[in-house]
Structure 1
């Protein structure tokens, strides 16, 4: 009964090993008390049997029995603390556990919402059952966190100890036993230190990601502004060109109508003059016919003969056999359309010159990649020229090199945006030029076509130009290009070729689908005994 009326301080009921209230307390021969589980486990890990408090050694492992007196005192102490906690919290209504929330592991009937989880006890507590952790000095040392699920995951699966350390070497959470067994000599720090480091790293990384995306937003906005300016400029140029064409067409139409009307008026006037002259002659002929009729009815032969001679020579008549009215409109419309076409060509040339200037703004510095060069090709030291030689060089057969096709790629690759480069083709009778995707076949024959990853222009026989589309397109060019410009818009799926000197568009591949890196593609063609010895030369871009 004395134990029920008087309770010692909490510190007298704490195990010196686990620092918690005794569970199944046992006493050693030296008079010190421990949890039965704690002292048993302590001796299991040691080769000698000694008291953890006074280091008193025992020759043999002591047989342990629960100290019933202390056990009853501890039980009474727990009941008292529980009642105290219940009475102190009875005035406040606690929240009942709801689906999706963490519940108290101690509540037996109505599960209440957990306020905290203990990383030492691996238990979640409601407000009532949390009270001992807030009032008892031994339990105050336990680490409390906001309620979480699966607290058993916080125990080492191998040693059944709390995961309270972090191995920086293996980047994993470990327990105390792991540091002396599996992670010996590793860089191990407390979880809190690792938490602070990882938190700072994550915050830094997060800030960097935020900054990158903010910069990307500004970049996109700036691109939109530039695109709008370019769109407005192109609209203005387009309106100007179409206005000029429309005005030219209207002038041509007006001139055509006036010309035809004037010619028709001339024809009508000529016809009126002819009709007037014919009517006058017709009148005279009718008068003469009347006189002839009078003479032919006379029986006076002398008078008839005398009148016959005068009627025979008069009136003088015109020979109308070759006289006719011809339409003079033929060819008028054709000439007007030809003139309109000339105007259209002039305006088209202006547009193409402006277009070429725009794409030249995306000029890039391209150099040839010697690691991709076919062994029969000759590269200049600066990587700007390539031609075909007659002798095969002994080069490493690396994965990037073209072993069959006489071609070479540029060093630079592009997987977004726009780019432009120019190549001098002067003096050559054959060449292949364009872009190719990274996955192009390097070790066998290549059929140059978009489906095989090539978008190229080809010259053969000195003047036979083809766009190697699917199917290939034979081109009819007004002049032989001396310098070819290649422009690519990756996102739009566009590859265009220009005659730089003539500022003319040669051909455009449209609707292309680019999925991997693109490389400039060069094929100088066979040497042909010196007839095609001129090199393909990458030229610096100069805006006209």
Structure 2
């Protein structure tokens, strides 16, 4: 039990999952097949589920693939279907839709997790990398009761008192903007600027508890 506790502590510090620390994955991971596409003319009501084909072996999907729960030990990676879309080293899962333009909004219930990341990532992001540390991802992370904006292995503190039960994510593809939204006050808390050059997917990292996604939502009209 002491050994498991020590390993778990190390994994929480690094964001890496137990049972996959030594596993590597090719850098030229192929683009996931069979996803939907959102055109630049689409309304801001993207609807997606979590894509089991991308889910790390420590993550289980539930509620018709709109929720994800973290299992500390998870499955033996050898017991999970082997494909180039799956994250092997990190507890990451992508949404099922690819976004190629437009302005889109979704929400995530985060009250049952103390360590997670949420945002977007390039659909072709290497599956050996992690969202937030890869330059092909833009996410907001929560750990040790603190929020941060993360991309390219750089983290900027986000001033947010406490942790709400639910947060919003706003993506403006053409403007190169990803924003974290206070769903109660309908206010942008913090934004990340990026250069989006290809299809993006909603992206989630989870190392404790569970997350529940809510898509198909219209953007609150008061957001700026």
TM-score in terms of structure 1 length: 0.30
Tell me by how many angstroms 1:447 deviates. 6.4
Q: Distance in 2 between matches of 1:468 and 1:476?
A: 14
Q: Radius of gyration: which is bigger?
A: 1
- Asked if residue 494 in structure 1 is aligned to residue 169 in structure 2, the reply is no
Greater relative contact order: 1 or 2 (C-alpha under 8 angstroms, separation 6 or more)? 2
State the distance in 1 between where 2:173 and 2:116 align. Answer: 24
Counterpart in the other structure of 1:478: 161
Query: SS of 1:413's equivalent?
Result: strand
Deviation of the 1:469 alpha carbon: 4.0
Please state which structure has a larger fraction of its residues in helix: 1
Q: Please identify which structure carries the higher strand content.
A: 2
1:538 aligns with 2:213: yes
What is the Cα deviation at residue 431 of structure 1? 0.6
The yes-or-no answer on 1:365 pairing with 2:50 is no
Q: Does 1:523 align with 2:176?
A: no
Select which of 389, 404, 419 maps to 2:104. 419
Alignment match of 2:122 (pick from 437, 446, 453): 437
Task: Output one character per residue of 1:171-220: Cα deviation in whole Å (capped at 9) or x when no partner.
Answer: xxxxxxxxxxxxxxxxxxxxxxxxxxxxxxxxxxxxxxxxxxxxxxxxx9
1:455–1:502 CA distance, 2 compared to 1 (3 A): same
TM-score, length of structure 2 as denominator length: 0.71
C-alpha distance in 2 between matches for 1:376 and 1:478: 30
Tell me how far 1:410 sits from its aligned partner.
0.6
Residue 502 of structure 1 deviates from its aligned partner by 3.0
Structure 1 moving runs of 4+ over 4 Å: none
**Which whole-Å deviations, capped at 9, do the CAs of 1:440-466 have from their partners, x for residues lacking one?**
111x243624x62010000102x1111
Unaligned runs of 5+ in 1: 1-219, 224-360, 526-531
Cα distance per residue 1:249-305 (max 9 Å; x no partner): xxxxxxxxxxxxxxxxxxxxxxxxxxxxxxxxxxxxxxxxxxxxxxxxxxxxxxxxx
1:465 aligns with 2:147: yes
1:406 to partner: Cα distance: 0.3
Distance change (3 Å), C-alpha of 1:381 and 1:498: closer
Deviation at 1:426, TM superposition (A): 1.0
Q: How many correspondences in the alignment? A: 175
Q: What displacement does 1:363 show?
A: 2.4
SS state at 2:132 partner: coil
**Residue 130 (structure 2) aligned to one of 433, 446, 460:** 446
| Unmatched segments (≥5 aa) in structure 2 | 1-39
Task: Say whether the 8 Å CA contact 1:407–1:524 is kept in structure 2.
Answer: yes
